[in-house]
Chains A and B, each alone.
Chain A
Amino acid sequence: MSGNSEIKDRYLKLYKDNIERISGNSSPYINFFREAAFEKFKTLGVPSKKDEAYKYTNLDTFFEHDYKSYFMPAPSDFKKAEEFRCDVPDLDTHGIILLNGFYPTIYDKLRQLPSGVWIGSLNEAAIKFPDKIEKHYGKYAQSETDGLIHLNTSLASDGVFVYVPEGVTLTKPVQVVNLVQSEEDMFNQHRNLVIVEKNAEISLIVCDHTLSPQKFLTNAVTEVFVGENSHFDIIRVQNEHNNACKITHTFIHQEKESVTSSNNITLHGGLIRNSTYHYLGGEKAESYSYGLFLTDKWQHVDNYVNVDHAFPNCTSNQLFKGVLDDMSTGAFAGRILVRKDAQGTNAYQKNNNILLTDDARMFTKPQLEIYADDVKCSHGATIGQLDDDALFYLRSRGINKRDARLMLMFGFAHELIKNIKIEPLRDRMDNLVMQRLKGELSRCASCLVKCDNLQNK
């Protein structure tokens, strides 16, 4: 699709130069997919605005750039990662830290938690549990149109593996901290696999941080299998600098009577694209998809959600909100697909956006595609500004304009934050959102990167 052969050539070269090193590092089963995936990428290319799914997002500036891509980190690279401490108070988690998509040496690469849950490196897991990998790897991340997914399959070197055995409820969430730090501009891809067996429960927190001001491009694919009657929550907190481009694809496959939720909170980032695919592959499954983004300057955030109702009596709900300041742009594309025999489906979708300046732009595309008749589906989308009546109400009670606006915006954003079940994280998010709305850029306040000084826009 992408007519830009120059970009393609760049990745062709990258593939040819490094495929041996990447393969040498991972298991044969994962390598087995690489060549076919790369062929697929060659025909599809990097998505451009001509692709319906990327209509409002231009990736060219990030993909045209020359990055250092390295597939074997040196131990000294991990120094920063070892020093990194999560700044959310009282958040008690099982931590995994990844630096540029690799595992630092401070922990075991793959470890078993007391409850029998395994967390750690996908490569290690592929050696230790080949049967599990063969059963799930590459089964859910399928796309006929998105070349980036295939690019990831062909080149991803490592990523996170989480395995929750049958009947296990993990009380503490698993936290994955993705750090990006490099002296040079860098392109990195990782591949995650989460397997939740029957009657199990787990929460996953994924935090994205950048630690140096260089230009970064991340293309990550996550596959999740959620077994019968299981619960799975994923919360993604994205807090990167203005020079970073983050593209995530999350595929959640649900078996019957399972419940999942996905929450993407984008506080900061240059260009962010989150694609979330929910596949309801069994009766009475429920899926909830949430997203919040706050943008300013030249940032661009694009949320894409696809909910596939393949079986009867499933429920899905989507809620996405955005607050856009300065010259930032936002996009939302949500699709509900109800297949032929998925009777008794309830599916809802809502997208609300607030534009704060005349230079901010928002594009939204909520879609319903329905082939069954006994369904209740609705969607709503709004783009507007703060409610004048509400503002007047607050001001008539002696609250000044600035505070009244803040309160309304905070209330607007809080509707999403409140869905976070982990209390310390929820409080922290409220806090960050408030700071962000006050203009004390939550990221920059505590950050030494000072990316804006280096930004070449």
Chain B
Amino acid sequence: MEKDQNKILSDVTSGEYKYGFYSDIETEQIPKGLSEEVIKVISKKKDEPDWLLEFRLKSYRHWLTLKMPAWAHLEIPPINYQDIIYYAAPRKKETLKSVDDIDPELKKTFDKLGISLEEQKHLAGVAVDAVMDSVSVKTTFRETLAELGIIFCSFSEAVKEYPELVKRYLGTVVPYTDNFFASLNSAVFSDGSFCYIPKGVRCPMELSTYFRINSANTGQFERTLLVADEESYVSYLEGCTAPMRDENQLHAAIVEIVVEKNAEVKYSTVQNWYPGSREGKGGIFNFVTKRGMCKGENSKISWTQVETGSAITWKYPSCVLRGDNSIGEFYSVAVTNNYQQADTGTKMIHVGKNTKSTIVSKGISAGRGQNSYRGLVKVLKNAAYARNFSQCDSLLLGDRCGAHTFPYLEVENQTAIVEHEATTSKIGEDQIFYCNQRGISTEDAIALIVNGYAREVLNKLPMEFAVEAQKLLQISLEGSIG
């Protein structure tokens, strides 16, 4: 632990975004622009069946009728959707012998990010699907997992190998008509992860997807589909980084989760896209639709997110609690520093009886960051004995930033109990003074207090991620004090 702390300290002093490098990998790209033709090209490149192309085109036609939503508390510069490359893939080298071998340059990139693509060297118990730009480059531990009947592969492989499963679940939780960015994603999504946990299986290792944007001018549109069949359990992690660039890049993903009877899914995200420079130049626009459906009785979904990156975040991981006694949880820490903006939160839709949901959201604003919590708790007429508790706290570091809370509570059943509370405050001078007195510098004292403040959420993360997230928090806030 002590070693960890020393490391944290050195990280804090060196600071800056450490994943901002660019790997020179030969990539295959299609020209900029979006049209039915482009969608056909993507579909053809991925060798997709007709029904999927049909789905894409349907989504695209619907997208054309939509306007970009303006309700979020964000200032989004206009996005030219014709100025984005919708497909970019690292080119496969012909010299490689088997399909499982990967380009050493790619391997180096992921090593640098701390993600090992080689199974034996890897931290025990984490299987990784690594996605760069538009394609999945490698999925580890596939065979080990397959022995248990668990399917864990890239989305494109799933379409080829398990078309029935994909067809059955695709778009059932996030329909292509859901919102502007969901429609866009449904039209042009390139790759992502697919995971199916069969009946009664408790997944022995953490599954994870690592997203990396590498090429310039591309948008990343991946799609994750996770199905937990009856009585199963899985813990899923997601991480992401991108190079430092002066232009904004668009990331519009969809995550769909289906949880059957008695099953449980834990989904954790550490989002660390490039946040833009100190002056607010560049950075990723992170517009993501994430939703889980608790389909069966006693099912459970738990979202945990640590949002430190991205220039703009627009993200509401939600739970539809359809099964009786199902449970939805949302734990979030969102940090905005410099010119970052975040509008994030959750939706808990109580449909079944005795459903429960918990929301814990911690926002931290520094510099000129704007941080909003936006959440909906909806209890439908037949959701008897629904129970919700929400807590949203905001911490302000500096007098130029903003923290906002926009909860919506809609209750249509008399037996429901819905509670929401929120506070906004800054770090108490007495707290800092207390630390100073004991020889802790102000910078460290703030790091300490912030970590304590976010602890409730960080505790929900798997161990390796929690350490990572703790470090991230410090780096993100570096330079925001004084």
User: Which positions in A face B, CB cutoff 8 Å?
Assistant: 52, 340-341, 343, 353, 355-358, 360-385
CA distance A374 to B428 in the complex (A): 9
B398 interfacial by beta-carbon distance below 8 Å = yes
CA distance A379 to B391 in the complex (A): 10
Known: A362-B411, A377-B423. A382 touches B403 (CB 8 A): no
**Chain B 395-420 interface 0/1 with A at a Cβ cutoff of 8 Å (1 = within):** 01111111111111111111111111
Among candidates B407, B412, B419, B425, residue contacting A375 with C-beta atoms closer than 8 Å: B425
Which residues on the A side are within 8 Å of B122 (C-beta)?
none
Known: A378-B421, A379-B422, A380-B422. A370 touches B414 (CB 8 A): no
When the two chains form their complex, are residues B410 and A361 in contact, meaning their CB atoms are under 8 A apart? Answer: yes
A408 CB, min distance to chain B CBs, angstroms: 15
Known: A361-B412, A365-B406. A374 touches B418 (CB 8 A): no
A239 CB, min distance to chain B CBs, angstroms: 25
CA distance A374 to B397 in the complex (A): 9
When the two chains form their complex, are residues A361 and B424 in contact, meaning their CB atoms are under 8 A apart? Answer: no
Known: A355-B413, A363-B408. A374 touches B419 (CB 8 A): no
Which residues on the B side are within 8 Å of A362 (C-beta)?
409-411
B388 CB, min distance to chain A CBs, angstroms: 9
Can you show 12 pairs from A to B with CB atoms below 8 A apart? A341-B399, A355-B413, A367-B405, A368-B403, A368-B422, A371-B401, A373-B396, A375-B425, A376-B423, A379-B420, A380-B422, A383-B409
CA distance A374 to B399 in the complex (A): 8
When the two chains form their complex, are residues A381 and B420 in contact, meaning their CB atoms are under 8 A apart? Answer: yes
Total count of chain B residues near the partner, CB < 8 A: 36
B394 interfacial by beta-carbon distance below 8 Å = yes
B51 interfacial by beta-carbon distance below 8 Å = no
Which residues on the B side are within 8 Å of A369 (C-beta)?
73, 402, 404-405
When the two chains form their complex, are residues A382 and B399 in contact, meaning their CB atoms are under 8 A apart? Answer: no
Query: Besides the contacts A358-B413, A362-B411, A373-B397, what 18 more A-B pairs have beta carbons closer than 8 Å?
Result: A340-B399, A362-B410, A363-B409, A364-B408, A365-B406, A368-B403, A369-B405, A370-B394, A370-B402, A371-B401, A372-B399, A373-B399, A373-B401, A378-B421, A379-B420, A380-B419, A381-B419, A383-B411
Known: A373-B426, A374-B399. A381 touches B413 (CB 8 A): no
B389: nearest chain-A partner, CB-CB:
A382
B32 interfacial by beta-carbon distance below 8 Å = no
Query: Nearest 6 pairs between A and B by C-beta?
Result: A373-B396, A355-B414, A380-B421, A384-B417, A368-B405, A383-B411
Which residues on the A side are within 8 Å of B160 (C-beta)?
none
When the two chains form their complex, are residues A377 and B425 in contact, meaning their CB atoms are under 8 A apart? Answer: yes
B41 CB, min distance to chain A CBs, angstroms: 38
When the two chains form their complex, are residues B418 and A382 in contact, meaning their CB atoms are under 8 A apart? Answer: yes
A32 CB, min distance to chain B CBs, angstroms: 34
When the two chains form their complex, are residues A378 and B423 in contact, meaning their CB atoms are under 8 A apart? Answer: yes
When the two chains form their complex, are residues A365 and B421 in contact, meaning their CB atoms are under 8 A apart? Answer: no
A361: nearest chain-B partner, CB-CB:
B412
Which residues on the B side are within 8 Å of A365 (C-beta)?
406-409
CA distance A357 to B410 in the complex (A): 15
A372: nearest chain-B partner, CB-CB:
B399
A219 CB, min distance to chain B CBs, angstroms: 26
Which residues on the A side are within 8 Å of B404 (C-beta)?
367-370
A358: nearest chain-B partner, CB-CB:
B414
CA distance A340 to B424 in the complex (A): 14
When the two chains form their complex, are residues A355 and B416 in contact, meaning their CB atoms are under 8 A apart? Answer: yes
CA distance A357 to B381 in the complex (A): 11
When the two chains form their complex, are residues A343 and B405 in contact, meaning their CB atoms are under 8 A apart? Answer: no
A376: nearest chain-B partner, CB-CB:
B425
Which residues on the B side are within 8 Å of A356 (C-beta)?
414
A52: nearest chain-B partner, CB-CB:
B71
B334 CB, min distance to chain A CBs, angstroms: 15
Which residues on the A side are within 8 Å of B424 (C-beta)?
368, 370, 375-378
When the two chains form their complex, are residues B408 and A380 in contact, meaning their CB atoms are under 8 A apart? Answer: no
Among candidates B381, B410, B412, B414, residue contacting A385 with C-beta atoms closer than 8 Å: B414
**Chain B 329-372 interface 0/1 with A at a Cβ cutoff of 8 Å (1 = within):** 00000000000000000000000000000000000000000000
A306 CB, min distance to chain B CBs, angstroms: 14
When the two chains form their complex, are residues B396 and A375 in contact, meaning their CB atoms are under 8 A apart? Answer: yes
B341 CB, min distance to chain A CBs, angstroms: 13
Known: A375-B424, A379-B421, A382-B418. A363 touches B410 (CB 8 A): yes
Which residues on the B side are within 8 Å of A363 (C-beta)?
408-411
B424 CB, min distance to chain A CBs, angstroms: 4
Among candidates B394, B411, B422, residue contacting A355 with C-beta atoms closer than 8 Å: B411
Which residues on the A side are within 8 Å of B420 (C-beta)?
366, 379-382
CA distance A186 to B76 in the complex (A): 46
Which residues on the A side are within 8 Å of B416 (C-beta)?
355, 383-384
CA distance A104 to B210 in the complex (A): 76
When the two chains form their complex, are residues A384 and B418 in contact, meaning their CB atoms are under 8 A apart? Answer: yes
CA distance A366 to B408 in the complex (A): 7
CA distance A370 to B394 in the complex (A): 10
When the two chains form their complex, are residues B408 and A385 in contact, meaning their CB atoms are under 8 A apart? Answer: no
A320 CB, min distance to chain B CBs, angstroms: 13
B347 CB, min distance to chain A CBs, angstroms: 14
CA distance A365 to B418 in the complex (A): 13
Among A343, A357, A362, the one with the most B-chain Cβ atoms within 10 Å of its Cβ is A362
CA distance A50 to B416 in the complex (A): 27
B408: nearest chain-A partner, CB-CB:
A365
CA distance A384 to B388 in the complex (A): 10
When the two chains form their complex, are residues A378 and B422 in contact, meaning their CB atoms are under 8 A apart? Answer: yes
Which residues on the A side are within 8 Å of B379 (C-beta)?
383
B423 CB, min distance to chain A CBs, angstroms: 4
CA distance A360 to B379 in the complex (A): 12
B387 CB, min distance to chain A CBs, angstroms: 9
Among A370, A377, A380, the one with the most B-chain Cβ atoms within 10 Å of its Cβ is A370
B406: nearest chain-A partner, CB-CB:
A367
A133 CB, min distance to chain B CBs, angstroms: 38
A353 CB, min distance to chain B CBs, angstroms: 8
Known: A52-B71, A378-B424, A382-B419. A361 touches B405 (CB 8 A): no
CA distance A381 to B392 in the complex (A): 12
Which residues on the B side are within 8 Å of A364 (C-beta)?
408-410
B419 CB, min distance to chain A CBs, angstroms: 5
CA distance A362 to B414 in the complex (A): 10
B371: nearest chain-A partner, CB-CB:
A370
CA distance A353 to B379 in the complex (A): 14
Which residues on the A side are within 8 Å of B426 (C-beta)?
373-375
Which residues on the B side are within 8 Å of A379 (C-beta)?
405, 420-422
CA distance A96 to B421 in the complex (A): 42
Interface positions, chain B 417-440, Cβ under 8 Å from A, are 417-426
Which residues on the A side are within 8 Å of B381 (C-beta)?
358
CA distance A383 to B416 in the complex (A): 7
B128 CB, min distance to chain A CBs, angstroms: 39
CA distance A340 to B415 in the complex (A): 41
Which residues on the B side are within 8 Å of A355 (C-beta)?
411, 413-414, 416
A7 CB, min distance to chain B CBs, angstroms: 24
A436 CB, min distance to chain B CBs, angstroms: 18
When the two chains form their complex, are residues A385 and B423 in contact, meaning their CB atoms are under 8 A apart? Answer: no
Known: A375-B396, A375-B425, A378-B422. A366 touches B411 (CB 8 A): no
A247 CB, min distance to chain B CBs, angstroms: 22
When the two chains form their complex, are residues B417 and A385 in contact, meaning their CB atoms are under 8 A apart? Answer: yes
Which residues on the A side are within 8 Å of B71 (C-beta)?
52
B480 CB, min distance to chain A CBs, angstroms: 11
B343 CB, min distance to chain A CBs, angstroms: 12
CA distance A358 to B416 in the complex (A): 10
A371: nearest chain-B partner, CB-CB:
B402
